[in-house]
A and B are shown apart, each in its own frame.
Chain A
Amino acid sequence: MKHLVILGAGTAGTMMANHLNHHLKKPEWEISIVDEREEHHYQPGYLFLPFDIYSPEDIVKHIEEFIPKGVNLVKGKIDKVLPKENKVKMTGGNELNYDLLIVATGAKIAPEEIEGMKGSEWQKSVFDFYTFEGSLALRNKLRDWEGGKLVVHITEMPIKCPVAPLEFAFLADSYFKHKHMRDKVEITYVTPLSGAFTKPKATEALEHLLQEKHINIESDFAIEHVDNEAKEIVDYGGRAIPFDILVTVPTNKGDEVMARSGMGDDLNYVPTHKATLQSKEYTNVFVLGDASNIPASKAGSVAHFEAEILTENILRFVKGEPLKEEFDGHANCFIETGNGKALLIDFNYTHEPVEGTFPFAGVGPLRLLKESRMNHLGKLAFRWIYWNVLLKGTHIPFVSATMSESGKKYN
C-alpha cells in the first residue's frame, strides 16, 4: 500500500482530501491528513465578526465534519518533515511515512516581527483581525468605543486576502454611520504600497471609494515600531501616525514547521513551481494554498482553483506522466465596501482586475470592479458555498480553474 499524506486540514488540505478520496483508493492507496486543531475556521468571517455581522457560531465548525470517510485524520502537531527520508515526524514521536506529500499548512500572523506590536497595548488598543481571538477582542472593544482615531494598517506584503484590510476600513465607515457616530471617528488607512492596492485599475476604483467615504490614506509606510506610550506607529523614515485604536495586519508567515524542516524561504513559504504546484526541491512534494511562495493571492478562491489543477497533476504523477503546467494564478475575490454593497475582482498572474461582467460575458449577474448589491449578496453567499461546496471539492458551475478573458474590458 502507498501513502499519501496531507499536512494541514484547513481550506486547501480539506479540499485535496475530498478530491483525491475519489481517485486514490484502498487497497493501493492510503490517504492521511494531519492537523493540530479541533476546529475548522472560516477565516473570511474574521472580517465580519468585529462588526457583529457574523457571530462565532457562523464561522467555526469541527474539522472532522469535512474530512471524508476513508481518509485518515491524524490529530497532532507536526514537528518536522524529513523530505529526504520521505517521513513526517509528529511532536510526541510518532512518524508517518509517505510516497507523496501535500503541504497545506497555511500562513499565520507574526506580530513579534515588529518591535512593540505585541506590547502592553496588544488587544487593549492594538488589535489584529486575522485570528479568531483578535477579531473577537476587537468586536468587544468596538461595541462600546466612544470614538477617536482608528488606524487600519498593513505591516508588509504578502498577506492573506490582500483586500481584507481595505474591506475592514469600508465596513468600519458603515458601522460607525449606523451607530450615528461617524463624525466622532477619524479613519486612516496605512499601507506599505504606493496606493490602495497593487494593481493599477483596481487601485483607481478603490481610492475613489476611500475618498467618497472620507477615509484618509497614508501610503509608502514601512513600519519600524509601535510606540505603546505615545500610541503611534512610526516608520523607518521617522513618519509617525497617532492612533486610539490600531487595527493592524502583522507580517504573515508560513508555519514554523517549514523552517524546522529546512523547506521554507525567509518567510517560511515553500518554494513551489507556479504552474504545476510541485515543490522546486522535491519531486514527490506538492504545495498549495497559503503555504507556497507562488506569486498568487493567498486566498481561499485561489486554493480552490489550485486544488482542481493539483488533483490532476497528482494523478499524472502517480501514473508517471508529465505534469500539466496549467495554474495561471487565477483569483476571484469579493471586496465588501459597506452599506450592503461589494465589488468583485477576477484576475491572474498576467491580467490585472478590470471592469466587466461575471461569470457570463455581457450578462453578469455580477459586475466586475463596480459596487453593487448583487456582489454583496455574492460575498455573503460565499460563506454557504465555502462550507457546502468549496471544502467538498465540488466544481463551481461556470467558473473555471483558469481565468476567462471574456466579458472583461481590457484596453
Chain B
Amino acid sequence: MERTIAGKSIAVNEEGYLTDFKQWDKSIADVLASEAEISLTPRHWEILGYLQNEYRNEVPLSIRKIGKSGVVDIKEFYQLFPKAPLKTATKIAGIPKPASCI
C-alpha cells in the first residue's frame, strides 16, 4: 500500500514499514520518528546509519548483535528508542522489521 510521508507517496506494508528502501530519505525519517514520539539527535542518526549499513550488507539484525556491535549498548539503545527499540529504529531507518525467525 501507499501512504504520503513528508509530501511524498511512499510504499509501506500493513505495519507501516517501508517496502522500498530507495524511497527513504531524512525527511521521511523525521516524520516516522515524530510519530513514535522521538526527536532525532546526532546520536540517533549514527545508529540509524549503522542499521542501514547492516541491512545493505544483508546482516540479520537482532538486539543481541547490536549490543555486541560496539556502536551502542542495549541500555542506550532503549533510551534512544524506548519500548521496542529494534522495531522502532528499523521502521525509522526505512528497512524491514527484523524477522525473528521461528
On whether A295 and B74 interact (CB within 8 A), knowing A194-B84, A220-B84, A266-B64, the answer reads no
Q: Give Cα A156 to B86, complex, Å.
A: 13
Q: How far is the CB of B15 from chain A (nearest CB, A)?
A: 9
Sorting the interface of chain A by its residue count into under 10, 10 to 19, 20 to 34 or 35 or more gives: 20 to 34
What 1/0 mask marks residues of chain A from 305 to 337 whose CB sits below 8 Å from any chain B CB? 000000000000000000000000001000000
A156→B102 contact, CB < 8 A: no
* In the complex, chain B residues 21-74 whose Cβ is within 8 Å of any chain A Cβ: 62-65, 68, 74
What 1/0 mask marks residues of chain A from 172 to 208 whose CB sits below 8 Å from any chain B CB? 0000000000000000000011100111000000000
On whether A295 and B63 interact (CB within 8 A), knowing A194-B84, A194-B87, the answer reads no
Q: Is A398 an interface residue (CB 8 A)?
A: no
Q: Is A237 an interface residue (CB 8 A)?
A: yes
A222→B74 contact, CB < 8 A: yes
Q: Is B4 an interface residue (CB 8 A)?
A: no
Q: Is B82 an interface residue (CB 8 A)?
A: yes
Q: Give Cα A220 to B102, complex, Å.
A: 16
Q: Give Cα A330 to B66, complex, Å.
A: 30
B65→A237 contact, CB < 8 A: no
Q: How far is the CB of B54 from chain A (nearest CB, A)?
A: 13
Q: Which residues of A contact B68 (CB under 8 A)?
A: 266
B100→A237 contact, CB < 8 A: no
Q: Give Cα A199 to B101, complex, Å.
A: 9
Which chain A residue shows the least CB distance to B77?
Answer: A236
Q: Which residues of A contact B62 (CB under 8 A)?
A: 156-157
Q: Is B1 an interface residue (CB 8 A)?
A: no
Which residue in A157, A222, A236 is a CB contact (below 8 Å) of B102? A157
B83→A158 contact, CB < 8 A: no
Q: How far is the CB of A355 from chain B (nearest CB, A)?
A: 18
Q: Is A68 an interface residue (CB 8 A)?
A: no
Q: Give Cα A220 to B87, complex, Å.
A: 9
On whether A236 and B75 interact (CB within 8 A), knowing A194-B84, A199-B102, the answer reads yes
Q: Which residues of A contact B101 (CB under 8 A)?
A: 157-158, 198, 295-296
A295→B84 contact, CB < 8 A: no
Q: Give Cα A197 to B68, complex, Å.
A: 26
Q: How far is the CB of B2 from chain A (nearest CB, A)?
A: 20
B74→A156 contact, CB < 8 A: no
- Which residues of A are in contact with B by a Cβ distance under 8 Å? 156-158, 162, 192-194, 197-199, 220, 222, 224, 236-237, 266-267, 295-297, 331
Q: Can you name 28 A-B pairs with beta carbons within 8 Å?
A: A156-B62, A156-B63, A156-B64, A157-B62, A157-B100, A157-B101, A192-B100, A193-B100, A194-B84, A198-B99, A198-B101, A199-B102, A220-B83, A220-B84, A222-B63, A224-B74, A224-B75, A236-B74, A236-B75, A236-B77, A236-B78, A236-B85, A237-B82, A237-B83, A267-B64, A295-B99, A295-B101, A297-B102
